[in-house]
Chain A
Amino acid sequence: MGEKILFDHKELDLSLNRLCWQLIENHCGFENTVLIGMQPRGYFLAQRIQERLLELTSVKEISLGSLDITFFRDDFRRRDEPVVANQTDINFLVEGKNVIFIDDVLYTGRSIRAGMDAINSFGRPQQIELLVLIDRRFSRELPIEPNYVGKTVDAIDTEKVLVEWSNTNNKNDLVRLIRE
């Protein structure tokens, strides 16, 4: 089992900054834009992005919600391991809004498909965009592509990309590639 560091905390910090500026460029005041973190791991990233956006702009408030896609997955009764649902916390309607899905790793694209299905329970968004920290290209099973990418990675199926967020100190943030 080998392992490689894809992002240390400095690179991660730079990429987050760049992603935020790209969002600001496209959505300026965020009046009609909401951030949705995909549960469980995308929500951490979404929180960081929301904090950073508030620092970088004079905007007072940016809506952030978390979306759990467990009940919308397409592999129910096909998996060996059961999945436990997480909390969905969206206390606003997304009707007519620009929704930005935020996830840590984009792999097959199936979670995002389920997410697009799930978000419809909260209204019909005007537009959905996708922001990911890591894009594992060449492993897509559905025609889904991100709009904002932290880093593109070529990894084979037996490898796993793990994003670790520390609660207290950003210096421990890390993205690792693990070979099994």
Chain B
Amino acid sequence: MGTLSVDHLVGIKDLSEQDIDLIFQTADNFKSVLNRPIKKVPSLRDITIANLFFENSTRTRLSFELAEKRLSADVVNFSAASSSVKKGETLIDTVNNILAMKVDMVVMRHPNPGAAKFLAENVNSQIVNAGDGAHEHPTQALLDSFSIREKLGTVKGKKVVIVGDISHSRVALSNIFCLQKLGAEVMVCGPATLIPKYIKDLNVRVEHDLRKALEWCDVANMLRIQLERMDVNYFPSLREYTMLYGLNKDLLDSLSKKIVVMHPGPINRGVEISSAVADGKQAIILDQVENGVAIRMAVIYLLAQKNKRQE
């Protein structure tokens, strides 16, 4: 206890339940740090972290950067749009060049699934996966479960439905692993074209009727429709998707119990979730964002602790 079983955070799949508990306990402490008049601790004073974003991101990149700065780490940012990647440099070369400038940890988002694992195996640095294609987005899943734990007291035994584009979503996969490790029941809901064929092998329920799914659950996590990852049409029109799978105030109010509504952002208002619901009392969307910084601080702190200083 007191230390993670992994040296990199590539995916939730590699973590044990104890690892997740440790991350949550540490995040509790960092959350209290974030509510102090001075929101900073000096722990990572001698650590340099590179944030490599080969894919667009606002929230996750800001959240990681804030987490790193709150821990007093030095931060360098890199985005693929303005880099030599465009000139044909390989991923390993790019990262090794950055590491040659004495960087201790790399936070990476990449459009290709498996990029974080590939890097963890091939370069001499600690890797934190900030999303790799449609594979995993571990810190998002951790902050989602942390937010459920905060709101409902525990994750164990809770029923969580993930609604929307499951096929293209790394958030969905990481969430399924994380929630199941913590003892929650998971259901996915969406049009048949957006639900992977073999998802049942992961021991999740599948439901195509949104109302039935919402009646079943304690928490609904509404995913964004990822138009940028869709090469063919998976549903006739956005309007039809919204009619069948959009969560609006009337539907939410007509349920027999009050459920918690989550969204990993960015929100397509009026598509998967209506403004009234997103800004309503049952939504914890902004709590998720706040918890994101504490969770990322915990992950980075616990990983850095494993990287003993070379004298």
Contact = CB atoms under 8 A, between A and B. Distances in A.
B41 A71 contact: yes
Contact of B29 (A78, A85, A117): A85
B248 interface: no
A77 B39 CA distance: 22
B197 interface: no
Nearest to B307: A77
Interface in B16-41: 25-26, 28-29, 32-33, 36-41
Contact of A78 (B28, B301, B309): B309
Nearest to B45: A76
A71 B26 CA distance: 10
B90 interface: no
B152 to A, nearest CB: 21
Interface in B40-59: 40-44, 46
A139 interface: no
Q: How large is the interface on A (under 10, 10 to 19, 20 to 34, 35 or more residues)?
A: 20 to 34
A93 interface: yes
A76 B305 contact: yes
A123 B41 contact: no
A77 B25 CA distance: 19
Among A68, A71, A121, the one with the most B-chain Cβ atoms within 10 Å of its Cβ is A71
Interface in A78-123: 78, 81-88, 93, 117-118, 120-123
B184 interface: no
Contact of A117 (B42, B304, B307): B42
B225 to A, nearest CB: 40
A68 B26 CA distance: 12
Contact of B38 (A78, A81, A88, A121): A121
A81 B43 contact: no
A68 B1 CA distance: 19
Given A120-B38, A122-B36, A88 B29 contact: yes
A76 B42 CA distance: 10
A121 to B, nearest CB: 4
A40 to B, nearest CB: 13
Among B33, B41, B43, B304, the one with the most A-chain Cβ atoms within 10 Å of its Cβ is B41
Nearest to B301: A71
B2 interface: yes
Contacts of B307: 77
Nearest to B29: A85
B43 A76 contact: yes
A72 interface: yes
Given A82-B3, A84-B25, A88-B29, A77 B40 contact: no
Contact of B304 (A77, A81, A86, A118): A77
B29 A72 contact: no
A27 to B, nearest CB: 24
Contacts of B40: 121
Contacts of B26: 85
B29 A87 contact: yes
Interface string A124-157: 0000000000000000000000000000000000
A77 B2 contact: no
Contact of B308 (A68, A78, A87, A118): A78
Given A68-B29, A83-B2, A84-B1, A77 B305 contact: yes
Nearest to A69: B41
B111 to A, nearest CB: 33
Among A68, A84, A85, A93, the one with the most B-chain Cβ atoms within 10 Å of its Cβ is A85
Contacts of A70: 29
Interface in B261-311: 301, 304-305, 307-309
Q: Which 9 A-B pairs have the closest CB atoms?
A: A71-B41, A121-B38, A82-B2, A77-B309, A85-B29, A82-B3, A121-B36, A71-B43, A84-B2
Interface of B: 1-3, 25-26, 28-29, 32-33, 36-44, 46, 71, 301, 304-305, 307-309
Given A121-B40, A123-B37, 5 more contacts: A71-B71, A72-B42, A85-B29, A121-B41, A122-B36
Interface of A: 68, 70-73, 76-78, 81-88, 93, 117-118, 120-123
26 contacts: A68-B29, A71-B33, A71-B41, A71-B42, A71-B71, A71-B301, A72-B43, A76-B44, A76-B304, A77-B305, A77-B307, A84-B2, A84-B25, A85-B25, A86-B29, A87-B32, A88-B29, A88-B33, A93-B37, A117-B42, A118-B41, A120-B38, A121-B37, A121-B39, A121-B40, A121-B41
